[in-house]
Structure 1
Amino acid sequence: MAESPQNPPPQNTTPDPLMTEPELVSSDLTANATPPSAPPPGRRAAATFIFFTVALDMLALGMIAPVLPRLIESFLHGDTSSAARMLGLFGTVFAAMQFFFSPIAGSLSDRFGRRPVVLLSNFGLGLDYVLMAWAPALNWLFLGRIISGLTSSSIPTAMAYMADVTPRERRAAAFGLLNAAFGLGFVLGPAIGGLLGNINPRLPFWVAAALSLINGLYGLFVLPESLSKENRSPFSWTRANPVGSLTLLRHGGMIGIAAILLLGYIAQQVLMNVYVIYDDYRYHWTNRTVGLSLAVVGVFTVIYGAFLIKPVVAKLGERGAMTIGLIGGALGYSMIGSSKTGLLVWIGIPFLNLMSFTWPSAQSLLSRKTSPSEQGQLQGAVNGLRGIAGLIGPGFFTYIFSKSIGIGAIVRTPGAPFYVAASMLLIGLIVTQYATRTPKAVLQL
């Protein structure tokens, strides 16, 4: 919390010898933050469990991705057109559930602690996959997708847990590891799901259920509570609703960083919703080639998140890491959009994945400006931004793509959606330079 006028901080112009250079550069962003409480015992084992929780959640989601369309189509007697529309509805509902329930899960974790929310999510997600594996009709499968959107909303709580047990100067690296967990699930999930789906389209759901339930049982024994009782805050629907949770991001210069995240998350939707159809239209790539290229995206996400984010932030600070990420992402999207043969797509992937530096660095800055009692609400708000992007991005980019090809094209440029995504990241780059600027007081040290 901010210092009161009656109790001003000591006027000491000598830098703290224990403060790293990135902390000095970002001290304007942490001046109002409340120092984190001491990490609980078993922090390393708990952080490892959270890493595997996120990885397994993403693995499970990735496993069902290649078989869900086939399962939907089987309920519709092979009607591909209807299946495509229904798949779009499934995706929209999933994003909507994330948007509405992520802030609730985050605020509940601020009230009752992280441990019960994380474990309930593990068990709930496991039972939901059982429901989807058993589903005898399309409406049951649809209900399962709604529940999976709700139960997977615990990701913000996992992020808040990592903030609880990690010193603030190391949070970018911690969030980078969780980003690597996302990438790991992104790489392995579809591959495993495709192999299992060839045996039986419902088998990936059963395996995903088993992974979630086993992880929940394991967590009962190894996961301590990370949020002390003195740092808990009362639950409030005013703060837990999607709009109310976002109000937290208006304070202390956080809105600029939140805007960067929102622009980046929306831009990321072009990869999720246009990339496959774009590759088929422009390069006539097979499913195997598309899948391999997406696997490479995941591999670089893991490498950057697990091995590079920590030294990059230590050397350049969060601001420098975000700048590199946004420039690299804009360059990568531009290369994909301008590639006539597909070669630049492969070359652009390592540049595109430099965005892996941006997400954890931005979340680290936001976390350092938020008190321990509001970490859950903060991460819920951040995941709410992902939900907004999931509601806006698919229709936005597919519309741009539809108007850049074919007879009714406004401008015949198939790469237009990727150029728009690159432009959004460049706007984010400008906002970054303003939102993370170093105050004059620090420059005079």
Structure 2
Amino acid sequence: MNRKFWITALIAFINSLSLTILLPIIYLYGKQFGLNDFQTSFLFSIYSLAQFFATPVIGKLSDRFGRKPLLIISLAGTVIANFIAGNATTAIVLFLARFLDGITGGNNSVAQAIISDITTPENRAKGFGILGAAFGLGFILGPAISLLAQEISLGASFFVSSAIALVALLITIFFLPETIQTKAERGHNIFDLGLGNLIKGLATPNIGILLIINFFIGTTFTIFTYAFQPYFINVLGQNSKSLTLMFLLFGVLGVIMQTLGISILTRKFELVNILFLALFVRSLSFSLMPIVPSIVYFVSITILFSILNSLVQPIINTLISLNSKPEEQGTAMGLNSSYLSISNAFGPVIAGMVINQSNPTTYGYPLYLAGTLTFLVFLLAVFTRKRYAPKVKPRQ
């Protein structure tokens, strides 16, 4: 791995800090503005919905004009949006800030395209694993920083997030070189910016089925990521600090698996088989979580879940990259992020609709639903494997 790779990994890590500082407090921050559980689900959804339309455009433009300028724009949007959110005095301003962060939120897809530019097909799974680990490391330090910021206020977390995104922006401007070797041709209409690819991508051989699988993966996962927060607080009787510690646990286990685990597993098993195992364990864990309303039991199941869960997205990213042409890596990663984003918009709303605040028992329903639907995604991935299995076997 060369200097460009490690600079990109550093930027991804800092960017993940900016994101993970906010994850433990968005639900409770929305509550401060008088939003109910269903309304707070839209705070998660509006960000993802905006990303759905933005990321294919950002990905396509990065193929055309280069990775660096588009990464600068994306990070600048995060800096501004989180500063506005921290200063919000009404729910409308908060929603607008989340929308702005989403519409400029191509940070992750551009970073993935950079990794595709600078790694060989054989080493791409390892590259995405390290990138995922950099993101996972943010899950360790981000919640820890969030705990400190919460001592001031929940809104202070947005200011800290904005400042950290500014650091990533400055590193990108001054230290990250351009990585794209072959630029795509200029477009002639709005569909050439990538919006048309939202439909055409589904019909692309090998790529289309992976986009569909990842859409369902994202939907089921975000049903969990939203639902586990009110379940953790209202059923298990925990608070914002213990919720933050749970995200810290996700991060620690994720980094271990994405640095050591993925290297070991890819030497011994095919990528698709690792994906199948991770999806099956995810499905089982979701279904088991709400059976016993005990914090000790819940944390135990969460550890089982976290061990393999962090492998899902790096493996999907690798499979999409290996099935894409070199000059279309940004477009492919933009499409992947876009469909993942729209799935992230559906998941919280589905969870919010299932929950009934007056009946605490219903807080466990979305977890059962996530487990059942994830098992169906697992079956879909198994039965369609011949359509996307890579021709290149990753190695160390």
- TM-score category (smaller protein): 0.7 to 0.9
Distance 1:209 1:85 in 2: 27
1:129–1:209 CA contact under 8 A, matched in 2? yes
1:266–1:392 CA contact under 8 A, matched in 2? yes
Q: 1:302, CA displacement in angstroms?
A: 1.5
- Per the alignment, residue 21 of structure 1 pairs with none
Deviates more, 1:152-161 or 1:344-353: 344-353
1:424 is aligned to 2:373: yes
Name the aligned partner's letter for residue 348 of structure 1. Answer: I
- Per the alignment, residue 8 of structure 2 pairs with 50
1:147 is aligned to 2:100: yes
- Per the alignment, residue 350 of structure 2 pairs with 396
- Structure 1: gaps spanning 5 or more residues: 1-42
Q: 1:195, CA displacement in angstroms?
A: 1.6
Q: 1:357 to 1:129 in 2, by over 3 A?
A: closer
TM-score, length-normalised on structure 1?
0.78
Q: 1:159, CA displacement in angstroms?
A: 0.7
Map residues 324-363 of structure 1 onto 2, 5 A cutoff. 324-353=277-306, 354-363=308-317
Q: 1:110, CA displacement in angstroms?
A: 0.8
Map residues 41-440 of structure 1 onto 2, 5 A cutoff. 44-65=2-23, 80=34, 82=35, 87-134=40-87, 139-228=92-181, 230-235=182-187, 237-242=190-195, 244-353=197-306, 354-402=308-356, 406=359, 415-437=364-386
- Structure 2: gaps spanning 5 or more residues: 392-396
Name the aligned partner's letter for residue 435 of structure 1. Answer: T
Q: Deviations over 1:146-179 (max 9, x none)?
A: 2211222231111111111111122222222222
Distance 1:68 1:138 in 2: 12
Deviates more, 1:392-401 or 1:195-204: 195-204
TM-score, length-normalised on structure 2?
0.86
Q: 1:418 to 1:99 in 2, by over 3 A?
A: same
Deviates more, 1:157-166 or 1:355-364: 355-364
Name the aligned partner's letter for residue 298 of structure 2. Answer: V
2:294 is paired with a residue whose SS is coil
Q: 1:115, CA displacement in angstroms?
A: 1.3
Q: 1:315 to 1:104 in 2, by over 3 A?
A: same
Q: 1:351, CA displacement in angstroms?
A: 2.8
2:64–2:183 CA contact under 8 A, matched in 1? no
1:176–1:356 CA contact under 8 A, matched in 2? no
Deviates more, 1:265-274 or 1:331-340: 331-340
Q: 1:396, CA displacement in angstroms?
A: 1.3
1:45–1:222 CA contact under 8 A, matched in 2? no
Distance 1:69 1:107 in 2: 33
Which is higher, the Rg of structure 1 or of structure 2? 1
Name the aligned partner's letter for residue 218 of structure 1. Answer: I
Q: 1:202 to 1:162 in 2, by over 3 A?
A: same
2:45–2:346 CA contact under 8 A, matched in 1? no
Q: 1:337, CA displacement in angstroms?
A: 2.9
1:384 is paired with a residue whose SS is helix
Name the aligned partner's letter for residue 376 of structure 1. Answer: G
2:194–2:331 CA contact under 8 A, matched in 1? no
Q: 1:70, CA displacement in angstroms?
A: 6.7
Q: 1:318, CA displacement in angstroms?
A: 0.7
2:290–2:368 CA contact under 8 A, matched in 1? yes
Q: 1:239, CA displacement in angstroms?
A: 5.0
Distance 2:88 2:235 in 1: 37
Name the aligned partner's letter for residue 9 of structure 2. Answer: F
Distance 2:384 2:47 in 1: 32
1:264–1:425 CA contact under 8 A, matched in 2? yes
Q: 1:134 to 1:420 in 2, by over 3 A?
A: closer
Distance 1:280 1:367 in 2: 39
Name the aligned partner's letter for residue 322 of structure 1. Answer: L
1:335–1:344 CA contact under 8 A, matched in 2? no
Q: 1:402 to 1:137 in 2, by over 3 A?
A: closer
Q: 1:271 to 1:163 in 2, by over 3 A?
A: same
Deviates more, 1:418-427 or 1:265-274: 418-427
Deviates more, 1:384-393 or 1:95-104: 384-393
Q: 1:122 to 1:392 in 2, by over 3 A?
A: closer
Give the root-mean-square deviation of aligned CA atoms: 2.9
Q: 1:72, CA displacement in angstroms?
A: 5.9
Q: 1:266, CA displacement in angstroms?
A: 1.0
